[in-house]
Structure 1
Amino acid sequence: MRNVVPVSATESAPPPGKAAAQGAGPRPVAGRDPRVQWVLALAVIVVGILTIRPMGFSGRGLAVAVLFVINSAVLLVRRLPESKVPNHLALVWLSLGIVAAAALIGVSRSGTGYLFAFFLAGHIGYRLEAKPALVLAGICSLLCGGVLYFGLGPGHHLLPWAVGLATGAPVLGGIVNRSQRRAVLAVIAAAESAERVARAEAQTAVLTERSRIARDVHDVLAHSLAGINMQLELADALIDTGDLEKVREANNKAHGLVKESLKQAQWTVHALREDSLPLLESLTAMLESSGHRDVLTVTGTVREVPAQVTQNLLRIAQEALTNAARHAPGGDVGVELTFAASSTTLRICNRPATREVNAGVGSGMGLIGMRERVALLGGTVTAGPVTEGPDQGGWQVEAVIPG
């Protein structure tokens, strides 16, 4: 057994418990696959059984056999997950392991007992932090080197004492592998964190879109359906009175509300489209289709605004015009669009009604929807009666969106 070149063994495979906790990690490669580590450990044990002598049931042979069993157990226990072996217990276990490895070198007359020390030193670097790992590996080198240098065993003459000193060298490979494993786990954790953030953002976007669709459905259907229902109930009640003229009038109003609802639905679809027209053109077309011509006043330098701003301002204008037609029929409507350096302002003002008002009670959700739309864009909206000026007695809605 002279001039035997020691085999360095290091640990680099993540413990099964850690790998499971981290999810699917990188595909195992040679030296990192737990199966490879098991094969190497069993190979060392088998080679030890075949080469380490004396080994028996009495005297020195019994001592060698006991130490061989202890070293084999230590070699196999290293495969336990870190989560099942506390750090302080691992330190004690590894310390006893290097003592047993040095003792096996000293007691045995021949064989490959030194391989246990090499493999254990590699695992020390992988399992412990760098500072205690280096200290424990240094002790391993001193113990094994001292056994051979001072000739404490019968087989000291077969191995140079430098081999004993080299038993602690694999700790460096273990430290490197530990650092690599931590880096891989950090990358996996960062990727999982990024994935969680992306999922949260996607869920938030979905919820925001649902809220926007809910507002649009309300704006299009709530008022109109409530008005249609009221007129139909009125017509049903008037049938019993025999007043066909009023029945016909209620029926006509219901038809008018249906037409208005269809028009609003068309504008809702238009506002939801990604390729909608610029704000000024869209607002002009909306006013003309609603029967309000030449009521738009534009102030400032016209510029393009984001699609989301356009969609929300159009919905606010639609809601305001619908409320004006319902609560102030016949009243003049004025719309002002102002492009300032740091904001875009939409103002809709209607004068008092000139015809009979029969709008019923609203749900109160229209103004809430306006505020939600503007709040999403960081703006403000105000709505209330006009108390002075030529529009006194009317109603005004003003939305200001920054940017």
Structure 2
Amino acid sequence: MRYVLPVSGTDSTPPPEKTAVRGAGHRPVPGQDPRTQWALTLAVVVVGMLTIRPMGLSGQGLAVAALFVVNCAALLARGLPEHRVSRRVALVWLTLGIIAAAALIGVSSSGTSYLFAFFLAGHLGYRLDSRAALTLAGFCSLLCGGVLYFHLGPGHLVLPWVLGLASGTPVLVGIVNRSQRQAVKAALAAAESSERAARAEAQSAVLTERSRIARDVHDVLAHSLAGINMQLELADALLDTGDLDRVREANNKAHSLVKESLKQAQWTVHALREDSLPLLESLAAMVESSGHRDALTVTGTVRELPAQVTQNLLRIAQEALTNATRHAPGGEVGVELAFGASATALRIRNRPAPHKVTPSAGSGMGLIGMRERVALLGGSVTAGPITEGPDQGGWQVEAVIPA
């Protein structure tokens, strides 16, 4: 019997498994080129067809042809995706393929029939777990070596027997390829998990920024427009009384509120751009523009605060002063900014209105916005009526921020 020694490597190309990678569509896992696998498979088939003898339609040639077809089918089945072939089915298919390869070696007289055993053994290590793959590879080596021993006889050259015994060694290449594939899949899974976490973090940051912008827009538009609307309604009601002096006063107040709204809009733009505003100067201008001169008191050692703390303290002061103007117009207001060793406190107190008023309904978002702002900085805020002291019947807002 004459055999042609192999000139190509064993099965070192895993089956075409595709993994979804975001941003790049579906692509094969690195190291798994289906074109290379199909080229090697077709090469084995073509070389076997040209070299394996005898092959015909009767007698020994028919048996060789039938076993050749079975071996080709077993070899081509390596291209089936793993998720479509269960482990048990793969074990049966590869076992029958090994038996068919050994039978082809025993029936044929010459050629490269042993290549089928080599390539199937290489695929054992890739498709099955290591224990099953090594067991089946040992069975392949013993079966192919035994077939050659009994077919050729003990007095023949040793090389064919060694070739048969070595037919199971490509399983090691398959095991290495399987380990590499699992490592690549694990890396891809970790990358996708990291990408999902990054997307979730980015989405959370977007939602946080939207909430901040919503608070700023509420502070500027809701309160300013409410004050302007109140003055315009007063002016409209005074027109019927003919009191032009009070109409002009209400109109001037509305104009003043418009100017103040423009200034607040500029503050909002600065805040959105994360520009730092001077706390004391901005707070003093805000208190004065609300109509309360000399109402600001500063205690403790003045120090520069982080931009985010400054912005939120100014917004809280703006909210509290606007509410005082709406709910207690004409009432005295006191603003205290206290710099402590470990925290900065802002207190806004207003006395009751000197006359009965019917304030416009608010949106209810002001106090929520205050709490959100302070919570982001790890502080606390309290708001409620004053029940004792000279300001009894009024309202107090106090925000304490660690800084």
Deviates more, 1:263-272 or 1:75-84: 263-272
Distance in 1 between residues matched to 2:68 and 2:3, nearest whole Å: 21
Q: Deviations over 1:152-184 (max 9, x none)?
A: 69xx86952111111111111111111111111
SS state at 1:396 partner: strand
Aligned counterpart, 1:133: 133
Q: How does 1:117-128 map to 2 (within 5 A)?
A: 117-128=117-128
Contact 1:302 1:339 in 2 (8 A): yes
Aligned counterpart, 2:54: 54
Contact 2:20 2:27 in 1 (8 A): no
SS state at 2:168 partner: coil
Return closer, same or farther for 1:24/1:270 CA change in 2, 3 Å cut-off: closer
Contact 2:29 2:181 in 1 (8 A): no
Q: 5+ unaligned residues in a row in structure 2: which ranges?
A: none
Aligned counterpart, 1:10: 11
Return closer, same or farther for 1:37/1:88 CA change in 2, 3 Å cut-off: same
Contact 1:231 1:253 in 2 (8 A): yes
Distance in 2 between residues matched to 1:327 and 1:201, nearest whole Å: 40
Aligned counterpart, 2:266: 266
Deviation at 1:332, TM superposition (A): 3.6
Contact 1:148 1:159 in 2 (8 A): no
Deviates more, 1:170-179 or 1:345-354: 345-354
Aligned counterpart, 1:19: 19
Q: How does 1:100-119 map to 2 (within 5 A)?
A: 100-119=100-119
Deviation at 1:213, TM superposition (A): 1.1
Deviation at 1:212, TM superposition (A): 1.3
Contact 1:271 1:315 in 2 (8 A): no
Contact 1:234 1:250 in 2 (8 A): yes
Using structure 1 for the length normalisation, give the TM-score. Answer: 0.88
Return closer, same or farther for 1:4/1:21 CA change in 2, 3 Å cut-off: same
Deviates more, 1:334-343 or 1:390-399: 334-343
Q: How does 1:167-178 map to 2 (within 5 A)?
A: 167-178=167-178
SS state at 2:398 partner: strand
Deviates more, 1:195-204 or 1:236-245: 236-245
Distance in 2 between residues matched to 1:300 and 1:160, nearest whole Å: 97
SS state at 1:19 partner: strand
Deviation at 1:387, TM superposition (A): 1.8
Q: Deviations over 1:83-109 (max 9, x none)?
A: 111111111111111111111111110
Deviation at 1:341, TM superposition (A): 4.8
Supply the AA of the counterpart residue of 1:119.
Answer: F
Deviation at 1:297, TM superposition (A): 3.9
Deviation at 1:142, TM superposition (A): 1.0
Supply the AA of the counterpart residue of 1:56.
Answer: G
Does residue 197 (structure 1) correspond to residue 197 (structure 2)? The answer is yes
Contact 2:95 2:136 in 1 (8 A): yes
Deviation at 1:140, TM superposition (A): 0.8
Q: 5+ unaligned residues in a row in structure 1: which ranges?
A: none
Q: How does 1:288-303 map to 2 (within 5 A)?
A: 290=290, 292=292, 294-303=294-303
Distance in 2 between residues matched to 1:147 and 1:182, nearest whole Å: 36
Supply the AA of the counterpart residue of 1:401.
Answer: I
Aligned counterpart, 1:377: 377
Distance in 2 between residues matched to 1:202 and 1:128, nearest whole Å: 41
Supply the AA of the counterpart residue of 2:117.
Answer: A
Aligned counterpart, 1:333: 333
Distance in 1 between residues matched to 2:125 and 2:287, nearest whole Å: 77
Contact 2:220 2:264 in 1 (8 A): yes
Contact 1:351 1:393 in 2 (8 A): yes
Deviation at 1:21, TM superposition (A): 7.7
Number of equivalences: 400
Return closer, same or farther for 1:296/1:248 CA change in 2, 3 Å cut-off: closer
Q: Deviations over 1:127-157 (max 9, x none)?
A: 111111111111111111111123369xx86
Identity %: 76
Aligned counterpart, 1:209: 209
Contact 1:330 1:353 in 2 (8 A): yes
Aligned counterpart, 1:254: 254
SS state at 2:110 partner: coil
Root mean square deviation of aligned Cα: 2.9
Aligned counterpart, 1:321: 321
Return closer, same or farther for 1:163/1:329 CA change in 2, 3 Å cut-off: same
SS state at 1:384 partner: strand
Supply the AA of the counterpart residue of 1:180.
Answer: Q
Distance in 1 between residues matched to 2:62 and 2:3, nearest whole Å: 25
Q: Deviations over 1:3-46 (max 9, x none)?
A: 82564422444534x335886578877x6311011011000000
Distance in 1 between residues matched to 2:104 and 2:132, nearest whole Å: 23
Distance in 1 between residues matched to 2:106 and 2:48, nearest whole Å: 15
Contact 1:224 1:258 in 2 (8 A): yes
Deviates more, 1:269-278 or 1:37-46: 269-278
Distance in 2 between residues matched to 1:159 and 1:140, nearest whole Å: 17
Distance in 2 between residues matched to 1:301 and 1:165, nearest whole Å: 89
Contact 2:55 2:61 in 1 (8 A): yes
